[in-house]
Chains A and B, each alone.
Chain A
Amino acid sequence: MDKLIVDKLNLYYGANHALRDIGMAIPAREVTALIGPSGCGKSTFLRTLNRMNDLVEGCRIEGKVTLDGEDIYAEETDVSVLRKRVGMVFQKPTPFAMSVYDNIAFGPRTHGIRARVKLDAIIEKSLRDAAIWDEIKDRLNENALSLSGGQQQRMCIARALAVSPEVLLMDEPTSALDPISTSRIEDLVAELKKEYTIVIVTHNMQQAARISDRTAFFFLGEMIEYDATEKIFSLPDDKRTENYITGRFG
């Protein structure tokens, strides 16, 4: 079943036509990887899926994006609810300057959960799901800024999970991390896809090949090719995809 359907999506940053006629169906409970050279629009595309581009001044969007059949750009869409359903993990960890506990509780509190018992349970579950519970269960009251980079990133994943999203958008979540933290997060993604639909941007071809079910190749604002990951990495249809994958450019 397709969770997200993108149809004839065009995005402009002022005069810069950053996304051109993107059409794509993202299946539920699978990992979809977005690859392509820097500046080709991967992050921009990802941010159209939870409307984070709304913040960018001069950004104009045409086309349609639906989540479970509902148009997310429709007038009556509640962006707050949309972002609760479509969570996001950024390239750099974005810990808030407060305790680990309050970081994770931020989302649930935003959506009206106040009871301590309930919050405790959510926090434990999210940290377990993000495979970081055992490491930091005794440090919940410490400032999140004191965690290591890899821990911060997994805490941010836990924070995103704490609002029980359906889709998780990840923008190069491991590009700022060491190899060990990276492989932890890759394992985590494999685990998470049982429950969540995951869209992940990555610069790392091996990573895309390892963790994704489907891969989309972006180039200069266009989506050149989108298919099963195996297919993309063994028999791409388009010459540009092949060149990119074999490292001939980008």
Chain B
Amino acid sequence: MSSSSAPLSASLHGTRSAVKRFVLLKSEGFGNGMRTPAIRVPEEKKNSMSGAKGKFSESFMKVVFLLAACVSILCVLLICLFLFSNGLPAIGKIGPVAFLTGMEWRPGSELYGIAPMIVGSLYVTAGAIVTGVPLGVLTAVFMAEFCPKRLYGVLSPAIALLAGVPSILYGFFGLVVMVPFVREVFGGSGKSLLTASILLGIMILPTITSVSEAAIRAVPRSSYEGALALGATHERSVFFAVLPAARSGILAGVVLGIGRSIGETMAVIMVAGNQVLIPESLVRGARTLTANIVLEMGYAADLHREALIGTALVLFVFILILNTSMALSIGRKVP
């Protein structure tokens, strides 16, 4: 179980810091001198009085920082090593094609095809994007540009809280409130792709909102004023001058949201039904890669166990692709 969540959270943290770096970068790039940078006194000059002792503590601190950084790199490397060394042989034994495109997952009969789970993960994530992204981005626009101060004082902590709610609680909420609702309104058992999508959409909402809000706020006011000066209304200036300037930051938020929803486990298991079948409609159940691992890791042995680690490897590769493509698109975007 821990084997599945560790790589995910590690890679998510990677994405998050990439976004921070990126938002900073953007705000400087667009800065156009809106802020006049404070004159900085060079560090060396300030410390010149302390002499050799200062030098020593400085280089000592550098080593400490370096070690701290090495720990995180080491973690990533170890996770990679673990996943590849345990997952690849299993995939080899099963056969990569049979593993990735096989429609049957029946450990009892030595059938290990994870195609339904791959599709399940993709569907659920797509559903989360469809529900979470528009809501999240619009919320961010509202918070940054339309929200009265008083309301902001309520809304902002509420969204922060939403981000901090443990996923098991989301899962309970989904199970107790949303599943019956979906059953009543749309039919089926209620544990479905639709339920999971909406629930995940809510879960990625705070991520998308906070990253997008930061991106919108990082756009220099001059863009907004420039649009107003052409006779545009507040709304038009916000949506057509400010938002385009924030779009790569918003995209980063969306990518983070995708990362979170593809890796989400607990909440999804509780509402998705978990059938190993490619769902034929929105109200049918689906099983994600993460769910597959958690549901079976407890009792799996031998090749079955290794196949689950192979599943984790596939998940990891997904996250890797996501991060890499974001890093590339950021690299390209800087004007």
Task: Name which residue of chain A comes closest to B32, CB basis.
Answer: A92
On whether the beta carbons of B230 and A84 are closer than 8 Å, the reply is yes
Whether A55 and B225, one on each chain, are in contact in the complex, defined by CB atoms closer than 8 angstroms, is yes
Is the CB–CB distance between A106 and B225 below 8 Å? no
A interface residue count range (under 10 / 10 to 19 / 20 to 34 / 35 or more): 20 to 34
5 contacts between A and B (CB under 8 A): A90-B229, A96-B227, A96-B241, A145-B30, A145-B335
Known: A97-B244, A97-B247. A83 touches B32 (CB 8 A): no
In the complex, given contacts A90-B229, A111-B231, what are 7 additional A-B residue pairs having Cβ atoms less than 8 angstroms apart? A52-B225, A80-B231, A97-B219, A159-B226, A159-B230, A160-B229, A160-B230
Given the contacts A106-B241, A146-B335, A96 and B228 also touching, CB distance less than 8 Å: no
Q: Kindly provide the distance from the CB of B141 to the nearest chain A CB, expressed in whole angstroms.
A: 16
Which residue on B lies nearest to A106, using beta carbons?
B230
Question: Which of B223-244 touch A at CB < 8 Å?
Answer: 223, 225-233, 236, 240-241, 244
**Cβ of B228: which chain A residues have Cβ within 8 Å of it?**
52, 55, 83
- Whether A83 contacts B230 in the complex (CB less than 8 A), given A52-B225, A55-B225, A106-B240, comes out as yes
Establish whether residues B231 and A97, one from each chain, have CB atoms under 8 Å apart when the complex forms.
no
Bitwise, B292-335 to A at CB < 8 A (1) or not (0) is 00000000000000000000000000000000000000000001
Residues on the A chain within 8 Å of B47, using CB:
none
Chain A residues, Cβ within 8 Å of B227 = 96, 106, 110
| Contact call A90/B226, Cβ cutoff below 8 A | yes
- Once bound together, how far apart are the Cα atoms of A59 and B119, in whole Å? 58
Within 8 A of B (CB), among A125-180: 143, 145-146, 156, 159-160, 163, 176
Q: Which residues of chain A come closer than 8 Å to B244, judged between CB atoms? A: 96-98
The 10 closest A-B pairs by CB, nearest first: A94-B226, A97-B245, A107-B230, A84-B231, A145-B335, A88-B229, A83-B231, A94-B222, A80-B231, A110-B232
Is A197 interfacial (CB-CB < 8 Å)?
no
Q: Is residue A87 within 8 Å, beta carbon to beta carbon, of the partner chain?
A: yes
Q: Is the interface of B mostly helix, strand, loop or mixed?
A: helix
With both beta carbons as reference points, the residue of chain A lying nearest to B230 in the complex is identified as A107
Interface positions of A from 76 to 98, Cβ below 8 Å from B: 79-84, 87-88, 90, 92-94, 96-98
**A97-B247, A98-B244 known; A106 vs B33 contact (CB < 8 Å):** no
Interface membership of B49, Cβ < 8 A: no
Does A229 reach chain B (CB closer than 8 Å)? no
CB <8 Å contact, B33 and A107? no
User: Which A residue's beta carbon lies closest to that of B246?
Assistant: A97
Judge whether B34 is part of the interface by a CB distance below 8 angstroms: yes
**Cβ–Cβ < 8 Å partners of B33 in chain A:** 92, 176
- What's the Cα separation between A110 and B228 when bound, in Å? 10
Once A143-B335, A145-B335, A146-B335 are accepted as A-B contacts, the answer to whether A96 and B229 lie under 8 Å apart by CB is no
Residue numbers in B under 8 Å from A146 (CB-CB): 335
Determine the residue in chain A with the shortest Cβ distance to B31.
A92
Closest Cβ neighbor of A50 among chain B residues: B229
* B contacts with A, residue count (CB < 8 A): 23
How many Å from the CB of B36 to the closest CB on chain A? 11
* Residues of chain B with a CB closer than 8 A to A156's CB: 226
Q: Per-residue CB proximity of B80-99 to A under 8 Å, as 1/0?
A: 00000000000000000000
Which residue on chain B has the smallest CB distance to residue A108?
B230
Question: Are A52 and B32 neighbours in the complex by a CB distance under 8 Å?
Answer: no
- Shortest CB distance A141–B (Å): 15
Q: Is the CB of A92 within 8 A of B222?
A: yes
> When the two chains form the complex, which single residue of A80, A82, A90 contacts B233, counting CB atoms closer than 8 Å?
A80
Contact B231 A107 (CB under 8 A): yes
Q: Which residues of B contact A50 (CB under 8 A)?
A: 229
Which residue of the partner chain A has the closest CB to B226? Answer: A94
Least distance between B109 CB and chain A CB atoms (Å): 56
Within 8 A of B (CB), among A173-228: 176
Task: Pick from B34, B219, B227 the residue with the most CB of A within 10 Å.
Answer: B227
- In the complex, the answer to whether B226 meets A110 with C-beta atoms within 8 Å is no
Most buried by A among B226, B227, B233: B226
The distance in angstroms between the C-alpha atoms of A179 and B245, with both chains bound, is: 29
In the complex formed, the residue of A with least CB distance to B334 is: A145
B229: A residues at CB distance < 8 A: 50, 52, 83, 87-88, 90, 160
Cα A83 to Cα B231 in complex, Å, equals 5
Residues of A within 8 A of B222 (CB): 90, 92, 94
Query: Which residues of A have CB within 8 Å of B232?
Result: 80, 106-107, 110
Name the residue of chain B whose CB is nearest to the CB of A81.
B231
Write the chain A residue with the least CB distance to B219. A97
Output the least CB separation between B236 and chain A (Å): 6
Residues of chain B within 8 A of A92, CB atoms compared = 32-34, 222
Most interface-central of A94, A111, A145, A163 (chain B CB within 10 A): A94
Complex: how many Å from CA A145 to CA B220? 13
Cβ 8 A contact of B231, one of A90, A145, A163: A163
Across-interface contacts of A145 in B (CB, < 8 A): 30, 335
Distance to closest chain A CB from B174 (angstroms) = 38
B177-232 contacts to A (CB < 8 Å): 219, 222-223, 225-232
